[in-house]
Each structure stands twice: as structure tokens, then as C-alpha cells.
């Protein structure tokens, strides 16, 4: 017994040392890039900076604000009024510490994801223990082990800290760093059962980038089931509390924004830009090319279709199918929003990718991991290459660059569908056993 306790203490000490080392290495790498000669080049990349998260646009908006000019009167500034107020204060008082603030925010995001993974892995183990009697007898090898509780959170932190997409986003000083921080806070509050904090952080994340609003569904699922089926009334009360806190917090922030900007005209500059996509500069998303090429009288139709993909289309079907796995639903919705949002960046994609190690127990059931990995690697290299050929060498055109971004989005969609189907296959195996036969022959689940 004492030997087992000593081994566990030593294991936790090793994990803690590794976690601190990861944070130190990632922090040094980010700070070095921010203060290096490559920072301007990274910040100018269309894959990293967009009209919604560019630090250059933030500084221009803050300058107009300091000069008494309304930054929302034109089509240049699209940050929220609260963000404008905070960035104005930072630039006035902490301009020499901006790099450290961005690095610290990104490291804090990684730590929040680490804590989220710890809570989630405990939840998975408790669920398996509770439903153990309903599982088949030969599934012992695929059940979660104690090492999964220790290793998965560390892998999540490493997947964010060492992710080149997150690294570049921080080095470019994009405001996506703060959006990811708010989103990670909302996810941690959700999975840890703090439904009031979940509503507050979700309201802040929605206020910043709109698309996290869909996470109110998995948040309500957590609130409803946290007390178990024997306390349905209490569960419903928590659902109403979560939704109420979310709406009240969002309304309060919007009213404060109207006070800061002296009116409600900021809504068109912030959320109107997200929904109507007036700026068609190339990025890693799908909007810019379609709306550049299409006839203007089809614009409203395609805007509705594209925004439905990002905001509402998948919420209902996925919620019904994943009602017993709300955090997997949250992962799918965050990943889908990263693909289909109007102005995506590499920083948006970094967060759902970092969450993948939480489902390491599903990797054995995934069939497209190699293809997705190759797609992401190749398109990440080809994107800047084709951009140079198009913009500087003029030996390519927009079709080449859009082809790369289309494959990049396709790889993410393959990853999401593969993860969801792997969850379904593992569920089936737990209930029906590992060996499946049809007419005396070995059967295999395939995605049709």
C-alpha cells in the first residue's frame, strides 16, 4: 500500500515537472518570436491575422478612440467596445508589457485546458464505472485506465502549448489569444459543474466572437444531468439558471458596450461584419472566395446558408445523438465553428485540435488519422507557398490558394466526422462486445 502511494506521488511529481517544463519552453518560444524580426512577417500572414483579430487594426482603432474619433464610423475596426476600452488602457499603461501579457494569457489558456481535461477524464471513468454492469464481458482492454487520468491532461496542455497554430497566433499578437482564453474558461466551468460561471464565461466568449453561443446547449446538458435523474426539478432549475445567467450577462456587457461607444452603432461594425462578411480578403476559411465569385443577387441566400453551417445547422442533430456525451458535443461544435466561421484563423483551429488527446481512447477506432494529418501538414506548407506564387510571383491565381484552404477545411471536417464515428463504434463495442459476427463471419463497422 505504502509502495503504491509512493509510486503515485512520484508519478504526480514527474507530471508536474513536465507540465512546468512545457509551459516554460512554450512561453520562451512565444516571447522570443514576439520580440524577433519575424514578428511583423507572422502578423502580416492572412492565415494568422484577419480583420477581426489583427493587432494592427486594434492599434488603429485605439488611436482613433484616443483622438476623439469614433472607430466604428468606418469599416476598419471590428473589435468590441469593451475590448477597445481594455486595449486602450493596456496601450496607455502597459505598452512595454504587451508581449508578456499575450504570452501569459496563452499559457493560462493551456492551463485551463489542462484542468478541463482532468475533470473530463474523471467524469469518463466515473461514467464507465457506473455503467460497467451493462457492458459486454470482453471489453476490459478498452476501458479507461488510471494512466489515462494522468497522461491525457498533460497531452492536452502539450497539444496547445506546442501547437504551431497557437504559437503563431500568439506571436502575431492576435486577439484570438483572448478569445481562446474566454472559451477555455467557459469549457472548464462547464465540465466542472459551475453552471453560473459557465453562463458568465460563455456570455463573454459569445460577446467576443458570436459563434460560441451554440455552446449553451452542451452547457445546459451538463446542468441538467449534474444532479442525476432523481432530482429532475433541480436539474431543470439549473438549466434555467444557466440560460438566465448567460442572457443577463450578455445583456449587461452589451449595455456597457453601448455606454462606452455612445450608442448601439457598434453592433453593425462588430457582429454585422461577422454575419455579412463585407471584407473579402483571403483567409483560411471558405467565405471569401465564394462571395468574390458569385453574383451579388445570390449573396443573401449564400450568407444564410454559410452562417447556418457555423451557428445552427448541426446543433440539433448532434445534440440528440450525443445527449450522453455533452463535452464531445462541445468539441464538435467548437471545431465546426472554427471551420465555417466567416473569418477563421489558425488560432481558432488550435483550440479544438488541443482538445483531441482527451479522446485518446477513441484513436483506435479512428480510420482517417493518417489522411487528416497529411492534409493538415501539406496544406499548412502549401498555403504560404501558393500565396507567394499568387501575390508576389504572379505565377498562380486565387484558385490555387482557395484550393489549399478548401483541402484544409476538408481535413478538419474529416477529423470531426472520424472522431464522432469512433465514439459511436466504441459505444457499440462496449455494449455488444469486441467480436462481432454476421453469418459466422467477422463483421466490421464502417462509415457509410
Q: Tell me, yes or no, whether 246 lies in a domain.
A: yes
pLDDT at 138 over 90: no
140, three cell numbers: 476490459
Q: Tell me, yes or no, whether 352 lies in a domain.
A: yes
- Output the pLDDT for position 151: 86
User: What percent of the chain is modeled with pLDDT above 90?
Assistant: 61
- Output the pLDDT for position 162: 94
> Which tens digits make up the pLDDT trace of 351-374?
999 999 999 889 989 988 899 999
Average pLDDT, the chain: 88
DSSP string, 306-332: HHHHHHTTTHHHHHHHTTT-HHHHHHH
> Of the ranges 26-30, 323-327, 439-443, which is most confident?
26-30
Q: What is the DSSP letter of 298?
A: G
The values of phi and psi at residue 380, to 5°, are -65, -30
> Which tens digits make up the pLDDT trace of 169-186?
999 999 999 999 999 999
Q: Tell me, yes or no, whether 1 lies in a domain.
A: no
What average pLDDT does this structure show over 208-214? Answer: 93
**Domain count for the chain:** 1
Question: pLDDT-based confidence at 12, cuts 50/70/90?
Answer: low
> Of the ranges 12-26, 66-80, 205-219, 306-320, which is most confident?
205-219
3-state secondary structure of 74: coil
Q: 306-342 in b/e burial notation, b at 16+ Cβ within 10 A? A: bbebbbeebbeebbeebeebbbbbbbbbbbbbbbbbb
- In whole angstroms, give the CA distance from residue 258 to residue 261: 5
Q: Tell me, yes or no, whether 266 lies in a domain.
A: yes
- Output the pLDDT for position 447: 53
pLDDT at 8 over 60: no
Q: Tell me, yes or no, whether 117 lies in a domain.
A: yes
Q: Which of 208, 241, 258 is nearest to 52 (CA)?
A: 208
Q: Tell me, yes or no, whether 121 lies in a domain.
A: yes
- In whole angstroms, give the CA distance from residue 364 to residue 317: 25
Q: What is the CA radius of gyration of the chain?
A: 23
pLDDT at 6 over 50: no
Q: Tell me, yes or no, whether 447 lies in a domain.
A: no
Q: Which of 268, 262, 286, 271 is nearest to 206 (CA)?
A: 271
Range of the domain at 294: 7-442
pLDDT at 7 over 70: no
- Output the pLDDT for position 223: 87
Residue with C-alpha cell 472548464? 188
- Output the pLDDT for position 9: 52
The pTM for the full model equals: 0.91
Q: Are 58 and 85 in contact (CB under 8 A)?
A: no
Q: Tell me, yes or no, whether 225 lies in a domain.
A: yes
> Which tens digits make up the pLDDT trace of 232-259?
556 677 888 899 999 999 999 999 999 9
Amino acid at each position: 500500500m505504502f509502495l503504491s502511494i509512493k509510486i503515485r506521488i512520484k508519478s504526480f511529481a514527474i507530471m508536474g515537472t513536465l507540465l512546468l517544463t512545457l509551459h516554460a519552453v512554450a512561453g520562451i518560444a512565444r516571447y522570443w518570436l514576439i520580440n524577433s524580426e519575424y514578428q511583423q512577417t507572422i502578423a502580416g500572414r492572412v492565415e494568422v491575422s484577419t480583420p477581426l483579430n489583427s493587432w494592427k487594426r486594434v492599434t488603429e482603432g485605439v488611436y482613433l478612440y484616443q483622438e476623439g474619433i469614433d472607430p466604428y464610423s468606418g469599416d476598419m475596426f471590428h473589435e468590441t467596445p469593451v475590448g477597445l476600452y481594455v486595449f486602450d488602457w493596456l496601450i496607455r499603461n502597459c505598452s512595454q508589457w504587451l508581449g508578456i501579457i499575450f504570452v501569459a494569457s496563452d499559457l493560462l489558456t493551456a492551463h485551463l485546458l489542462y484542468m478541463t481535461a482532468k475533470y473530463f477524464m474523471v467524469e469518463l471513468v466515473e461514467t464507465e464505472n457506473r455503467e460497467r454492469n451493462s457492458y459486454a464481458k470482453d471489453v476490459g482492454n478498452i476501458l479507461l485506465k488510471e494512466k489515462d487520468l494522468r497522461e491525457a491532461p498533460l497531452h492536452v496542455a502539450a497539444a496547445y502549448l506546442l501547437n504551431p497554430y497557437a504559437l503563431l497566433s500568439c506571436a502575431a499578437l492576435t486577439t484570438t489569444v483572448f478569445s481562446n482564453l474566454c472559451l477555455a474558461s467557459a469549457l472548464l466551468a462547464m465540465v466542472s459543474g459551475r453552471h453560473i460561471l459557465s453562463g458568465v464565461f460563455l456570455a463573454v466568449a459569445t460577446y467576443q466572437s458570436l459563434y460560441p453561443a451554440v455552446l449553451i446547449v452542451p452547457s445546459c446538458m451538463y446542468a441538467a444531468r449534474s444532479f442525476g435523474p432523481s432530482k429532475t426539478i433541480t436539474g431543470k432549475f439549473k438549466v434555467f439558471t444557466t440560460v438566465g445567467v448567460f442572457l443577463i450577462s450578455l445583456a449587461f456587457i452589451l449595455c456597457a458596450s453601448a455606454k462606452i461607444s455612445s450608442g448601439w452603432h457598434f453592433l453593425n461594425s462588430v457582429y454585422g461584419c461577422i454575419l455579412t462578411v463585407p471584407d473579402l480578403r483571403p483567409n483560411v476559411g471558405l467565405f471569401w472566395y465564394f462571395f468574390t465569385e458569385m453574383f451579388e443577387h445570390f449573396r443573401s441566400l449564400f450568407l444564410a446558408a454559410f452562417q447556418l453551417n457555423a451557428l445552427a445547422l448541426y446543433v440539433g442533430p448532434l445534440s440528440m445523438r450525443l445527449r450522453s456525451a455533452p463535452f464531445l458535443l462541445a468539441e464538435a461544435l467548437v471545431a465546426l465553428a472554427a471551420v465555417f466561421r466567416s473569418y477563421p484563423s489558425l488560432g481558432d483551429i488550435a483550440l479544438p485540435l488541443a482538445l483531441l488527446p482527451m479522446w485518446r481512447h477513441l484513436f483506435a477506432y479512428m480510420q482517417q488519422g493518417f489522411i487528416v494529418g497529411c492534409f493538415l501538414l501539406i496544406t499548412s506548407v502549401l498555403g504560404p507557398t501558393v500565396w507567394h506564387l499568387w501575390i508576389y510571383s504572379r505565377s498562380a491565381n486565387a484558385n490555387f490558394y482557395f484550393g489549399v484552404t478548401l483541402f484544409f477545411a476538408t481535413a478538419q471536417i474529416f477529423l470531426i466526422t472520424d472522431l464522432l464515428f469512433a465514439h459511436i463504434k466504441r459505444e457499440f463495442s462496449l455494449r455488444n462486445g469486441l467480436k462481432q459476427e454476421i453469418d459466422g463471419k467477422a463483421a466490421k463497422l464502417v462509415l457509410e
